[in-house]
């Protein structure tokens, strides 16, 4: 171990302690308010629904506590425990070229990581979601989804990793700049392709058929100056009872998507208000801002990786003997979340600011009271807690707490 080893361990320990503290705060806050519906929601949410949301939140947080205990141990096994180093040396016996050895190493790290996370995913889906009546996915559907994700990872991910590793090996000191251009091109391609090529592999999308609702929404789109490739209903109910709405894609591939579960639970004026909120993200250029933020962060990350990949202490401090592109990339993927965790409040704050701005736009283009009633129904139907701990929410929640958001809308 060297000085960087201790820095890494220090950040890891502090991060785990902060996360554990936040989880305890969330548990205390939700449990303390379980017996009474907050006054702002007393006329809309029953005590039974409020207690279901509290119990659902506590169950999820409890599972997260177990995950928080095991995940750092897995990370230490990968790094200081010699797991990545062992995997690297084992793959050498295959006699692959340096490039394809690197691709195999990165893919193996991702695959093993996914397998280690699988028990948590299965417990969340088939225990917690089942217990609270949200899961509608069969085990066969779950396996099919995993197989499809693996196939997409091979088709899309392997070529991308191969190109980036080739650039790391052959493009000189500024390989990270070329890799960033490749990464941004890939991201834009995925934004374009997701609505029409990838999402339909997992769900069925049918044009919105309710003529009265469609006319109402088209009028909203016209008022907002938004042009899309259509409004679609997604069969989200085949996997979950949770409801949502979103728009995706860019250029001619922009699509507005409603979960079928959402349309069943909201009145037409509430659907209009929810769509106005989503359009607010577009009109306030949040998609562009998020893409720019992602571009800046990825450029900074790749530049940092470019420097770290040349530093022997980086490898030695994390338990890896051989210096190489794939080793550096694998280590960076494994350990960077330990350090970036402390940026989460900033990213959550920016996201919540966007949500407030989209709500303000929706209140001007539709009925603010309809948006409030629609949001309350979504909180109820999704069993979202109305009483999160403020600090926990500041770290983890991309949307403002329910009470804060409703007060903000009432002030419009």
Active site members: 278, 359
DSSP string for 27-49: HHHHHHTTTS--GGGTTTS-HHH
CB atoms within 10 A of CB 72: 16
d(CA 347, CA 69): 24
- Report CA torsion sign: 191, 195, 200, 204: positive
Cα dist from 33 to 30, 41, 43, 45, 71, whole Å: 5, 13, 17, 14, 30
- Report CA torsion sign: 166, 169, 170, 172: positive
d(CA 290, CA 351): 9
Can you state the percent helix, strand and coil of the chain, rounding each to 5? 75, 5, 20
d(CA 332, CA 139): 34
C-alpha dihedral, 100 to 102 to 106 to 109, nearest 10°: 100
| Of 49, 25, 28, nearest in space to 37 by CA | 49
Cα dist from 290 to 64, 164, 247, whole Å: 27, 23, 14
Q: Report yes or no: 335 and 75 within 8 Å, Cβ to Cβ.
A: yes
Burial 41-68 (b: 16+ CB within 10 A, else e): beeebeeebbeebbbbbbbbbeebeeeb
């Amino acid at each position: 171990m060297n000085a960087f080893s201790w820095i890494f361990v220090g950040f890891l320990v502090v991060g785990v302690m902060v996360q554990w503290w936040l989880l305890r705060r969330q548990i205390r806050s939700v449990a303390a308010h379980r017996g009474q519906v907050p006054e702002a929601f007393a006329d809309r949410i029953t005590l039974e629904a409020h207690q279901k949301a509290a119990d659902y939140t506590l169950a999820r947080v409890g599972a997260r506590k177990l995950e928080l205990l095991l995940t750092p141990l897995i990370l230490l096994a990968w790094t200081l425990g010699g797991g990545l180093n062992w995997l690297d040396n084992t793959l050498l016996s295959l006699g692959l070229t340096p490039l394809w050895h690197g691709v195999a190493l990165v893919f193996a790290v991702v695959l093993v990581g996914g397998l280690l996370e699988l028990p948590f995913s299965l417990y969340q889906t088939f225990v917690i979601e089942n217990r609270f009546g949200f899961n509608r996915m069969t085990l066969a559907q779950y396996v099919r989804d995993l197989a499809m994700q693996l196939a997409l990872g091979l088709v899309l991910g392997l070529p991308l990793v191969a190109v980036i590793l080739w650039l790391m090996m052959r493009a000189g000191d500024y390989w990270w700049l070329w890799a960033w251009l490749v990464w941004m091109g890939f991201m834009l391609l995925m934004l374009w392709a997701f609505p029409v090529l990838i999402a339909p592999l997992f769900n069925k999308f049918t044009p919105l058929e309710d003529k009265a609702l469609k006319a109402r929404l088209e009028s909203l789109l016209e008022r907002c100056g938004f042009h899309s490739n259509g409004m679609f209903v997604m069969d989200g109910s085949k996997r979950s009872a949770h409801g949502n709405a979103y728009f995706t894609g860019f250029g001619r591939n922009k699509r507005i998507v409603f979960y079928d579960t959402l349309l069943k639970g909201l009145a037409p004026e509430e659907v209009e208000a929810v769509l106005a909120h989503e359009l607010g993200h577009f009109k306030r250029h949040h998609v562009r801002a998020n893409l720019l933020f992602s571009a800046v962060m990825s450029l900074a990350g790749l530049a940092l990786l470019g420097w770290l990949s040349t530093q022997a202490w980086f490898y030695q401090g994390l338990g890896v003997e051989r210096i190489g592109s794939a080793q550096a990339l694998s280590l960076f993927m494994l350990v960077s979340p330990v350090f970036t965790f402390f940026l989460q409040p900033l990213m959550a704050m920016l996201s919540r600011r966007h949500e407030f701005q989209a709500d303000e736009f929706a209140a001007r283009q539709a009925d603010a009271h309809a948006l409030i009633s629609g949001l309350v129904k979504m909180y109820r139907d999704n069993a979202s807690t109305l009483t999160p701990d403020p600090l926990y929410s500041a770290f983890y929640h991309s949307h403002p707490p329910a009470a804060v958001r409703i007060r903000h809308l009432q002030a419009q």
